[in-house]
Chains A and B, each alone.
Chain A
């Protein structure tokens, strides 16, 4: 016996059966990035073109390091969902699955590599 009615099970979940999960994630990450991006552009833009020791000194400081880490994580989580949307719109079948996996792998690899670099610079 089902305790949930069909209507109760379907309500608010939309055509993808996942509700507004994606929309909400993109909203939260975009608001975070609204604050992170200007700070990161300033930090990265000022550091780029400087000699090696100055670059290391910049990213060893707490604020540039934390802003860069947050931008990488929030940015890549935002990217892989956005890329997935695009892939789902234009490709089908095995190609779609392979491309989505590639987008996920690239996103996490970028996150891991960037965080590794920050930790190594900080130590």
Chain B
């Protein structure tokens, strides 16, 4: 009797039709920030190797990293780094079996979003 409840059954929560939630968005952001950080790593290592190689190479790399575009990429990466940092701490907390109920998980998600912005601003001001 497979057709009894046709049409009224719950649907599989497919990605394209799934209503975005704080928990899913903060989870996806963890992946995007973590993988996106490779751009800043490549820039930073290029700068470091250039410093080791000599003054001309350093001048070239330093000009790119300290330009407005470099500032933009590095500041965005700084936010990504702090976001991924906080999201990682959240995972470590979850791994202990705590904070897995929806209310706490959403609060932790907000803390990651807010905290990452606060830490980014603090870092820019201090460093």
Say whether, besides A45-B127, A79-B37, A117-B49, A27 and B42 are in contact (CB < 8 Å): no
In the complex, the answer to whether A117 meets B38 with C-beta atoms within 8 Å is no
Chain A 1-55 interface residues, beta-carbon cutoff 8 Å to B: 27, 30-31, 33-34, 37, 41-42, 44-46, 48-49, 52, 55
User: For B48, what are the chain A residues with a Cβ–Cβ distance below 8 Å?
Assistant: 59, 68, 114, 117-118, 121
B91 at the interface (CB under 8 A from A): yes
Distance of A51 from chain B, by nearest CB (Å) = 9
Report the nearest A residue to B91, measured CB to CB: A30
Give chain A nearest CB distance to B90 CB in angstroms: 11
Chain A positions within 8 Å of B85 at CB level: 33-34, 37
A interface, size bucket: 20 to 34
The interface residues of chain A lying within 8 Å CB-to-CB of B78 are 41
Q: Are B35 and A86 in contact (CB under 8 A)?
A: yes
Q: Which residue of A lies closest to B59 (CB)?
A: A52
Known: A82-B34, A113-B49. A46 touches B127 (CB 8 A): yes
Contact (Cβ within 8 A) A117 B51: yes
Chain A residue at smallest Cβ distance from B85? A37
Number of contacting residues on B, CB 8 A?
32
Contact B45 A55 (CB under 8 A): no
With contact pairs A44-B44, A116-B49, A117-B45 given, residues A83 and B123 touching in the complex (Cβ less than 8 Å): no
Please, which residues of chain A bring their CB within 8 A of the CB of B88? 30, 33-34
23 contacts between A and B (CB under 8 A): A27-B95, A30-B88, A37-B81, A42-B127, A46-B127, A48-B65, A48-B66, A52-B62, A55-B58, A59-B48, A68-B48, A72-B45, A76-B41, A79-B35, A79-B37, A79-B41, A82-B31, A82-B34, A82-B35, A83-B35, A86-B31, A110-B45, A117-B51
A interface residues, Cβ below 8 angstroms from B? 27, 30-31, 33-34, 37, 41-42, 44-46, 48-49, 52, 55-56, 59, 68, 72, 75-76, 79, 82-83, 86, 106, 110, 113-114, 116-118, 120-121
